Structure 1
Amino acid sequence: MPDRVFALIDCNAFYCSCERVFRPALARIPIVVLSNNDGCVVSRTAEAKALGIKMGAPWFQIRRAFEAAGGVGFSSNYALYGDMSERVMTVIESMVPALEVYSIDEAFAELTGVLQNLDSMGREIRAKILAVTGIPTGVGIGPTKTLAKLANYAAKRWQKQTGGVVDITDSSRRIKLLAVTPVEEVWGVGARLAARLHDMNIKTAADLAHADTATLRARFNVVLERTARELQGIPCAELDDAAPPKQEICCSRMFGVRLHELAPIREAVAAYVARACEKLRAQGSVCKRVRVSIRTGMFNPDEPRFARGALLELPYPSDDTRLITRLALEGLEQIYRPGFAFSKAEVLLLDLCQRGEFTEDLFAPMQSADSQKVMAVLDAINNRWGRGTLRPGSVPASPGWGMKRELISRSYTTQVDQLLVVRAR
């Protein structure tokens, strides 16, 4: 067994799988989940792929044919997906020594030193996630994170043959997989980079593993060099127990309809500030600047175009939604111009730092303890009863400018009034 062992657990078509959990009748039905404003496909099941549905396909172009073939489309239900993700990660964390949540639907686990048969352990993890959450997964196991990712690709690519679990800690199995895997399937190698590698006759993962690392570093970068070393079985990337705090926090949304008047744009900006500040407090940070910007659609030649932003300094580092909203709305007043059809607003929190990392000026104002208590109560109520339960008065409950989500499912796990109800006959 190698000195280090990693596993990558990845949910299959995660958004679609979340929708299926609460609708067993959709188990074999083609499903797609759409981006904001029901724009394009961002998740698809194997059945949808079999119909030729491409990732990123515009919904308005494929809807009629897709639904005629028996397919079902859903608007993105981020509250549901986020809650289901937490459930999946909680199950994995209970079964492995260490965990790194890599994205909403995948996580790396450290299995170094585990005495249990690794293939059996992978199958136990997969079975328990399915039993507890209803979400199908693939598990890849290897001596580096890159090889674990590659094993996961194989687990999904040949799911019937592998049962959704592939262990390539054995060198002979690893060599076979590297030889049959196109280089573009290697973690971090996209289509453009793959084209350049093809010019160097590097067409498979095995070719990349055997390439001269000094040449890769000189012609590309150190990241590709490390990828090649990881394919050789040399760990270059460690497990990150916790993601570092973000240096910027952004909340940006397309409006569900074009907005011409200032009043609804003010509501949208206030809502985006509230969400950004939630994220800010969740990582224990405060911000020193806020940037607010608005723009029209940029691709319709028949519409006049306009885009502008304003950067505002806070009087002191803060995480208070009320203060940051007031400044953002002042900035919006400066940049708004009548006569345009606005399609999007953005709020960006800048110059972030953790509490205690900045030196307070003895003579400058600072955020009060009362403000911190108010924000703590706000977050506690929303965490318990659902986001938006308590919100600034300038943020409406059901805004007319909200994202178009005509096909959204119920919030089965996050809204009390939308829980499934079982009635006895």
Structure 2
Amino acid sequence: MSKAQPVFALIDCNSFYASCERVFRPDLGRVPIVVLSNNDGCVIARSYDAKPYVKMGEPYFQIKHKLKKHGIVPFSSNYALYGDMSERVMTLIESMVPAVEVYSIDEAFADLTGIDGRDALGRKIRSHVLRCTGIPVGVGIAHTKTLAKLANHTAKRLQVQTGGVVDICDPFKRDWVLRNTDVSEVWGVGRKMKLHLDAMGIKTAMDLAQADPWTLRNKFSVVIEKTARELGGTPCLELDEPDPPKQEICCSRMFGKRLTELAPIKEAVATYMMRASEKLRAQKSLCKKIRVSIRTGMFNPEEAKYANGVLIDMPYPTDDVRLLTKAAVDALDRVFRPGFKYSKAEVLLMSLCQQGEYTDDLFATSQSADATKLMAVLDQINGRWGRGTLRSASVPEDPDWGMRRELMSHSYTTRLDQLWRVYS
């Protein structure tokens, strides 16, 4: 009995950041939206109806007048909301298919091999996610991951005709999509690669699918070769297994304003360490070494430049935020220099190991069982009641050095004091 041909689905949230903002603001259902980067710097996301007027990366201060002219509503980035909504969407998808690879915050590949009624399943996924979260998604189905990505693009581009679901396992439908898609829309083909392909007469996805794979490999890379083979229907990419634990964990942020005193910088480093240690415990790792660094702004010619960092060896592998925070904050005394205007701090957890995977020194101190239990309770409380419910005493609730996010919406799903209120 021959092995069933693989079938992949790509489920991708439509204009995810903007859709998250609309879930709790139904009055913005037909209003164009843009989302801004840290410190309200530039545009990092746009709703579909905002794209004709705003380019990605445009600085906010330069386009305020244009946003007002076209009735476009700007939002500061609300990563707590986006992360929580993403987790809800992915959990729903995982409950409906045999296997899932979460590819990014707003898209996931699913394995539909051997499943009948794929189009109906795609529509069921789409309606279930929309009903339970308010987030619209597109579903692309094909025999390879690259074709599934292309099918998903077509589902969004022709949403009225397709209903947001496109299955191109049928060769006739696949070829129609390939002929009617510019090569620049193919997964992995960037601006520079498009120029090279244009010079070879490869204008559409069909042209790339019919190109000689070995020529593409020799001229460019094995990545482009695999892309061409996948467009032709030959699977080269499998559903990835869950990522292994990270070997380093970094948490860094720009301050909302320049800092000249040591005390607020220590608060910032304590705050970043709180977040980094949460990630550390989430992957069940311990940290043997940390690096703390600070720097001034590097682009203002009128400001003096300075950057420095320091490595600290921990007395034993640990995930205890108290020990990690004390080591990081104390280390700042060694790198801080008065007279500078600091713009950023960074915490880097290094030399990570999994619990039970390192050899204890018979005579060395190790993390106590009480500390491990305390960290578990800390994470349980914050997981139930929202991040920051319990935190280190050195972490302020609302610091004046925090990121500038003057247009941020409420954290409707992660903070009790910002729950959506409905009045009768």
TM-score, structure 1 as length reference: 0.96
1:337-358 Cα offsets, whole Å, 9 max, x none, are: 1111111111111122211222
Q: In structure 2, what is the Cα distance between the partners aligned to 1:308 and 1:199?
A: 46
Deviation at 1:266, TM superposition (A): 0.5
Structure 1 position 204, deviation (Å): 2.2
Question: What's the CA shift for 1:65?
Answer: 2.2
- SS of the residue 2:401 aligns to: coil
Q: How does 1:36-51 map onto structure 2 within 5 Å?
A: 36-50=38-52
Q: Secondary structure at the match of 2:51?
A: helix
Mapping of 1:183-198 within 5 angstroms?
Answer: 183-198=183-198
What are the within-5 Å matches in structure 2 for residues 46-195 of structure 1? 46-50=48-52, 52-116=53-117, 118-195=118-195
Segment drifting more, 161-170 vs 64-73? 64-73
Structure 1 residue 211, shift from structure 2 partner: 2.4
In structure 2, the residue corresponding to 1:188 is in which secondary structure?
A: coil
Structure 1 residue 219: Cα displacement: 2.8
The answer to whether structure 1 residue 17 and structure 2 residue 30 are counterparts is no
The offset of 1:232, in angstroms, is 1.8
Q: What is the match of residue 313 of structure 1? A: 313
Give 3-state SS (helix, strand or coil) of 1:154's partner.
helix
Residue 252 (structure 1) aligns with: 252
Distance 1:143 1:167 in 2: 9
Per-residue CA distance 1:74-113 (angstroms, 9 max, x = gap): 1111111111111111221121111111111111111001
Residues 196, 315 of structure 1: alpha-carbon distance in 2 compared, 3 angstrom cutoff: farther
Give the conservation status (yes or no) of the 8 Å contact 1:261–1:338. Answer: yes
Q: Distance in 2 between matches of 1:365 and 1:199?
A: 64
Read off the aligned partner of 2:41 and give its amino acid letter: G
Which region of structure 1 is more displaced relative to structure 2, 143-152 or 329-338? 329-338
Q: Percent identity over the alignment?
A: 66
Deviations along 1:3-46, one digit per CA (max 9) or x if unpaired, are 01000010011111111111111111111111111111111112
Deviation at 1:210, TM superposition (A): 2.3
> 1:123-152 CA deviation, whole Å, 9 max, x = no partner?
111111111111111111111111111111
| C-alpha deviation, 1:68, in angstroms | 3.2
Residues 336-345 or 414-423, more deviating? 414-423
Letter in 2 for 1:255: F
Q: Which SS does the other structure have where 2:269 is aligned?
A: helix
* 1:380 counterpart residue number: 380
Q: Which residue of 1 aligns with 2:212?
A: 212
Question: Structure 1: how far apart are the matches of 2:301 and 2:413?
Answer: 43
Give me the whole-angstrom Cα distance separating, in 1, the residues matched to 2:370 and 2:220.
Answer: 53
Alpha-carbon distance in structure 2 between the residues aligned to 1:226 and 1:357: 37
More deviation, 364-373/198-207: 198-207
**Residue 304 of structure 1: aligned partner:** 304
Contact kept? 1:126, 1:139, Cα under 8 Å: yes
Contact in 1 for aligned 2:4/2:114 (Cα 8 Å): no
| Displacement after TM superposition at 1:322 (Å) | 1.4
1:240 counterpart residue number: 240
**Partner letter of residue 37 of structure 1?**
N
Segments of 5+ residues of structure 1 without an aligned counterpart are: none
Q: How far did 1:286 drift?
A: 1.2
The alpha-carbon distance between structure 1 residues 219 and 358, as it changes in their structure 2 partners (threshold 3 A), is farther
Higher mean displacement: 73-82 or 241-250 = 241-250
Q: Distance in 2 between matches of 1:329 and 1:230?
A: 51
Q: How far off is 1:400 after superposition?
A: 0.9
Aligned to 1:351, what secondary structure does the other structure show?
strand
- 1:4/1:143 contact within 8 Å kept: yes
Shift in CA distance, 94/261, structure 1 to aligned 2, threshold 3 Å? same
Moved more, 201-210 or 70-79: 201-210
User: Residue type of the partner of 2:367?
Assistant: Q
**What does residue 32 of structure 1 align with?**
34
Q: Give the whole-Å Cα distance in 1 for the aligned partners of 2:25 and 2:234.
A: 44
Comparing 20-29 and 222-231, the one that deviates more: 222-231
1:281 — aligned with what? Answer: 281
Partner of residue 371, structure 1: 371
On the 8 A contact 2:250/2:349 being kept in 1, the answer is: yes
The one-character-per-residue Cα deviations of 1:265-320 (angstroms, maximum 9, x if unpaired) are: 00000110110010010011112211111111111111111111112222222111
**CA separation in 2, counterparts of 1:330 and 1:183?**
54
| CA deviation profile, 1:132-178 (whole Å, cap 9, x unmatched) | 11111111111111111111111112222222111111111111212
Displacement of 1:241: 4.2
Distance 1:293 1:4 in 2: 48
- Distance change >3 Å, CA 149–CA 285, structure 1 → 2: same
Kept after mapping to 1: 8 A contact 2:291/2:350: yes
- Cα deviation, residue 2, structure 1: 6.6
Tell me what 2:329 maps to: 329
Q: Is the 8 Å Cα contact of residues 312 and 331 (structure 1) preserved in structure 2?
A: yes
| Residue 225 of structure 1, CA deviation | 2.1
Displacement of 1:196 in angstroms is 2.4
Are 1:289 and 1:314, in contact at CA under 8 Å, matched by a contact in 2? Answer: yes
For the pair 1:408 / 2:402, whether they are aligned, the reply is: no
Q: Is the CA contact (8 Å cut-off) linking 1:2 and 1:143 kept in structure 2?
A: no
State the secondary structure of the residue aligned to 2:166.
strand
Partners of 1:149 and 1:189 in 2: CA distance: 12
Whole-angstrom distance in 2 between the partners of 1:218 and 1:321: 50
Find the residue that maps to 1:273 and give its secondary structure.
helix
CA contact (8 A) 2:36 2:76 kept: yes
The structure 1 segments of at least 4 consecutive aligned residues displaced by more than 4 Å after TM superposition are none
Whether the aligned pair in 2 keeps the contact of 1:2 and 1:169 (CA below 8 Å) is no
1:331 offset after TM fit, Å? 2.5
The whole-number CA distance in structure 2 between the counterparts of 1:290 and 1:223 is: 35
